[in-house]
Amino acid sequence: MNSNEVLQTHASHILSHARRAGGTTLKLLGGVAIRRLYPETAEHPALQRTCKDIDFAVGKKEAKGLNQVFMDSGFAADRHFNALHGATRLLYTAGELQADVFVSVFEQCHKIVLEHRLDLLEETLPPADLVLMKLQVVQINEKDLQDLCVLLLGAELGANDAPGVINVDYLIGITSEDWGWHTTCSDSLEKLTHYAEERLPKPERASLETKIAELQQRMNGSPKSLKWKMRSALGRKMQWYELPEEARR
């Protein structure tokens, strides 16, 4: 069993314990979630990567019951970290394996409110949220670009939240409201295009580029909020994103 399979097994155990506990909207995100949704696409030679940990999201009310869920799954709470950050983030470990839980929101370079998105799929966050979590990375790296390739090749662009559909309406709702979100996502899509040109065979590259072009067209052509227009006047002269603590080191 390789490391990704080990992570998937642990993820299944944790989700199973959460369901048995009842009332816990614990959902997978990150690389493990993406490979759970699109295992065949993730096995493409150009897109294979090893995930290092398991990421989850949970509702604010349900977070209090997680200690028992993770203890039943063989994990221990990082008491110091959880005491400091427990309102928005929790950490559990089992040996060298780490499980990171985002409580109600996912906040790195930009903020995504997850509370109303947790009941849409059985085991993972919807693909649109997984896409946004990768596009919002200002200092986007190879693993993020690989994950975006898997998402865009594995799912279709649409207007609803389903395992095989990226809800473009939801994504556009965020980028049309916030100039900063729009700018970072636009930059990331440009970087994804260049990555695909260098790494993907022609059939996959063509499919990916078609979807990227549609996303860019929808993002640029959608009506923008007054807040978006006011912030766009400042442009890039003022920083529009935050850097996660690990990126600032």
So what's the pLDDT on residue 156?
A: 98
Q: Which of 84, 78, 37, 82 is nearest to 64 (CA)?
A: 82
Please state, rounded to an integer, the average pLDDT across all residues of the chain.
95
User: pLDDT class for 247, splitting at 50, 70, 90?
Assistant: very low
So what's the pLDDT on residue 249?
A: 32
| Residue 38 identity | Y
Tell me the DSSP string of 112-148.
EE-GGGTTSSSSB--HHHHHHHHHT-TT--HHHHHHH
So what's the pLDDT on residue 246?
A: 57
d(CA 210, CA 156): 11
d(CA 198, CA 159): 30
pLDDT of 208-246, one tens digit each? Answer: 999 999 999 999 999 999 999 999 999 999 999 999 875
So what's the pLDDT on residue 23?
A: 67
d(CA 247, CA 232): 25
d(CA 201, CA 120): 33
Contact of 78 with 93, CB cutoff 8 Å: yes
What is the Cβ-side half-sphere exposure of residue 126, based on CA atoms within 13 angstroms? Answer: 25
What are the CB-based long-range contacts (under 8 Å, 24+) for 167-170? 167/126, 167/127, 167/128, 168/128, 168/214, 168/215, 168/218, 170/126, 170/128
Structural domain boundaries, residue 203: 3-248
Say whether pLDDT at 4 is over 80.
Answer: yes
What is the number of domains present in the chain? 1
pLDDT of 119-163, one tens digit each? Answer: 999 999 999 999 999 999 999 999 999 999 999 999 999 999 999
pLDDT of 32-80, one tens digit each? Answer: 999 999 999 999 999 999 999 999 999 999 998 899 999 999 999 999 9
pTM reported for the whole predicted model: 0.95
